[in-house]
Amino acid sequence: MSGAKKLGLKQRYAHMTRGLDWETTYQPMDKVFPYDRFEGIKIKDWSAWEDPFRLTMDTYWKFQAEKERKLYAVLDSFAQNNGQTGVSDGRYINVLKLFLTGISPEEYQAHRGFAFAGRHLRGVGPRVAAQMQSLDELRHVQTQIHTISHYNKYFDGLSEFRHMHDRVWYLSVPKSFFDDARTAGPFEFMIAIGFAFEYLLTNLLFVPFMSGAAYNGDMSTVTFGFSAQSDESRHMTLGIEVIKFLLEQHPDNLPIVQKWVDKWFWRGHRVLGLVAMMMDYMLPKKVMSWKEAWEIYFTEAGGSLFTDLARYGLKVPKYADVATAEAEHISHQNWAIFYQYTHAAGFHTWMPDAEHLDWLSAKYPDTFDKYYRPRWELWAKLEKEGKRFYNNALPQLCQCCQIPMGYTEPGDPTTIAFRSSTYKDQKYHFCSDGCKDIFDNEPDKFVQAWLPVHQIFQGNCGGATVPDVLAWYRMNVGADNMDYVGSPDEALWNEWHAEKLRKAV
């Protein structure tokens, strides 16, 4: 035996991963890795990559198999015991509808995107980490489908989640977000999804849904959440390692990375508006307000993150102050949009009851009573008079985030914000300076956007009338859409509830 020393854990792991890789000579490396140069990111030394976690496949299989055994045991038991009858209220299921139609398909996109990064980043360290995340993301989409599958057996609005995701107007908001990331280069993908989404914003997306499930008696979804927690923390450590690595490698990377951080923060903030609405309006038992969540998870946690990253020259994302100011408004403005367009939404809407209104007043003391309560009270009154308000015109959409242009001017919550840019003699419209900037930086990309309203007007969505379009969405009119009150979901929930009370006597 030679006199070589036994390996430490770090060197052992290096042999298990980066030792496997080699510089190709029969084919040029630039042909084997054709996509990791065009973004302008400079990597001097891939071997400086610090593995954020040291998982070999055997350990991965063992941990993940153990978690899956436990998760599926809970799902089976939940189904056997009709756990769906034990949630806080029938309204809660609408949270799952939003999640399955809007979020789970993006887990899938993340799966394929991390496979792209896991093949096409030249450095073997990040490639192995990205491959494991690709596996994890496939896990998440599949376990979410399996978790919510049981609810689909009883409730409407879930059955056509895949068909709807590629077509329905508001689902183009998360879809275009992920299409944008998937079609970017591998480094931008890692910053967009690995850092901005999985690190910076995950506590405002994943955590609210899972905490909402816990507070509302959804034991199957919360079990999924607990089961995915250790995956998510791996994803977070990968996200932070990626950004530090890029910034450490070359000073020329800083402006590129800063632009991506600005872009993906704002893109993420717009998608999170759906979560804001969910937290403030859709959870029968509230966890906390969106504003509180934003303060804890972005202002405080994000603040210390960017203090930490300041040594690389990275600044707090542009328009973070605007996003923080919007935390007072965004949930209310989004719920107003969905209430008006309830006939074209794949989940139910409702006006908050008195107790809920008071909760909102308490959580938003500076804005709710002044700007939003009067509107809700008027709409509730109209409902009572049989004149429920529907908006029958199709809204103008933001060319970037694709949300209807319903957001207000910073500092002026009674004026709708409009921005526009002219590119190659065409005028494009935006909801905000953040979205306009993103377009102006990449106009050739964003002019391509598949804007649902434009597509309807162009005749690409099943026909010229609302019923034509809803049929094309496969929306089961009167069951999937419209208000919760009067819906088959409500009737079923009330029937179960009455049944339970009767049996209890």
Partner 1 sequence: MTIQIKTLDFEPKRQTFGHVARRLGGDKPATRYQEGTFDIQPTHNFHYKPLWEPDLWQYDVRKTAVVMEDWYKPLDPRQYYYATYNIARANMNQAVDRNFVFVEERGLLTKLSDTGRAGIQRGLLPMRHLHWGANMNMTEICQRGYGTAVTGPCIFSAGDHLGMAQIISRIGLALDGQTGTSLDAAKVVWLQDPAWQGVRQLIEDSFVERDWFQLYVAQTIGINAVLFPLVYRLAEPAWAESVLTVAMLTEFMNDWQAEETRWSDSVVRTVAAESGANRALVSQWAAHWIDRAVVSGRTLSAALLCDEGKAADTAGETARTRARALGLAI
Q: 468-487: which residues touch partner 1 (CB under 8 A)?
A: 474
* Binding status of residue 20 toward partner 1 by CB under 8 A: yes
Main-chain phi, psi angles of 408, to 5 degrees: -105, 165
Amino acid at 403: I
Interface pattern 31-50 for partner 1 (x via CB under 8 A):
xx-xx--x------------
User: Of 326 and 489, which has the nearer Cβ to partner 1?
Assistant: 489
Find the part of the chain contacting partner 1 (CB under 8 A) among 156-164, 257-265, 266-274, 280-288: 156-164
Find the part of the chain contacting partner 1 (CB under 8 A) among 114-122, 296-304, 325-333, 386-394: 114-122
Contacting residue, 9, 44, 47, 58, with partner 1 by CB under 8 A: 58
Q: Where are the alpha helices (DSSP H) in 190-218?
A: 206-215
- Give ∠ CA 37-41-47 in degrees, rounded to 5: 90
Contacting residue, 115, 214, 288, 325, with partner 1 by CB under 8 A: 115
Q: How far apart are CA 99 and CA 79, in angstroms?
A: 19
Residue 443 tokens read as: 């106009």
Helix, strand or coil for residue 475?
coil
**Shortest reach from residue 131's CB to partner 1, in Å:** 6
Contacting residue, 219, 278, 327, 449, with partner 1 by CB under 8 A: 449
Please report the DSSP string for 44-86 in residue order.
S-GGGPPPSS---HHHHHHHHHHHHHHHHHHHHHHHHTTGGGG
Beta-carbon contacts of residue 230 (< 8 Å; ≥ 6 apart) = 63, 67
CB-count exposure of residue 252 (10 Å: 0-12, 13-18, 19+): exposed
Q: How far apart are CA 260 and CA 401, in angstroms?
A: 15
Contact status, residue 270 vs residue 435, Cβ threshold 8 Å: yes
The number of residues making up the chain comes to 505
* Binding status of residue 27 toward partner 1 by CB under 8 A: yes
Residues 70 to 99 in contact with partner 1, rule: CB under 8 A = 71-72, 82, 85
User: Of 90 and 413, which has the nearer Cβ to partner 1?
Assistant: 90
**Shortest reach from residue 331's CB to partner 1, in Å:** 26
User: Of 139 and 318, which has the nearer Cβ to partner 1?
Assistant: 139
* Binding status of residue 369 toward partner 1 by CB under 8 A: no
* Binding status of residue 66 toward partner 1 by CB under 8 A: yes
Contacting residue, 10, 19, 304, 420, with partner 1 by CB under 8 A: 19
Contacting residue, 42, 50, 57, 384, with partner 1 by CB under 8 A: 57
CA distances from 408 to 10, 364, 405 (A): 52, 17, 9
Find the part of the chain contacting partner 1 (CB under 8 A) among 67-75, 288-296, 353-361, 377-385: 67-75
* Binding status of residue 15 toward partner 1 by CB under 8 A: yes
CA distances from 260 to 43, 106, 237, 266 (A): 17, 19, 19, 10
Find the part of the chain contacting partner 1 (CB under 8 A) among 8-16, 45-53, 217-225, 372-380: 8-16
Contacting residue, 65, 382, 485, 498, with partner 1 by CB under 8 A: 65
* Binding status of residue 16 toward partner 1 by CB under 8 A: yes
User: Of 307 and 460, which has the nearer Cβ to partner 1?
Assistant: 460
- Residue 317: DSSP 8-state: P
Q: Which residues on neighbouring strands pair with residue 64, listed in sequence order? A: none
Helix, strand or coil for residue 420?
strand
Contacting residue, 86, 88, 149, 284, with partner 1 by CB under 8 A: 149
* Binding status of residue 146 toward partner 1 by CB under 8 A: yes
* Binding status of residue 448 toward partner 1 by CB under 8 A: yes
User: Of 167 and 419, which has the nearer Cβ to partner 1?
Assistant: 167
Residues 164 to 183 in contact with partner 1, rule: CB under 8 A = 165-167, 172, 175-176, 179-180, 182-183
* Binding status of residue 24 toward partner 1 by CB under 8 A: yes
Helix, strand or coil for residue 233?
helix
User: Of 325 and 471, which has the nearer Cβ to partner 1?
Assistant: 471
* Binding status of residue 133 toward partner 1 by CB under 8 A: no
Contact status, residue 272 vs residue 281, Cβ threshold 8 Å: no
Contact status, residue 294 vs residue 204, Cβ threshold 8 Å: yes
- Residue 424: DSSP 8-state: T
**Shortest reach from residue 84's CB to partner 1, in Å:** 8
Find the part of the chain contacting partner 1 (CB under 8 A) among 145-153, 312-320, 334-342, 376-384: 145-153
Residues 264 to 303 in contact with partner 1, rule: CB under 8 A = none
CA distances from 284 to 6, 128, 293, 373, 480 (A): 58, 42, 17, 18, 19
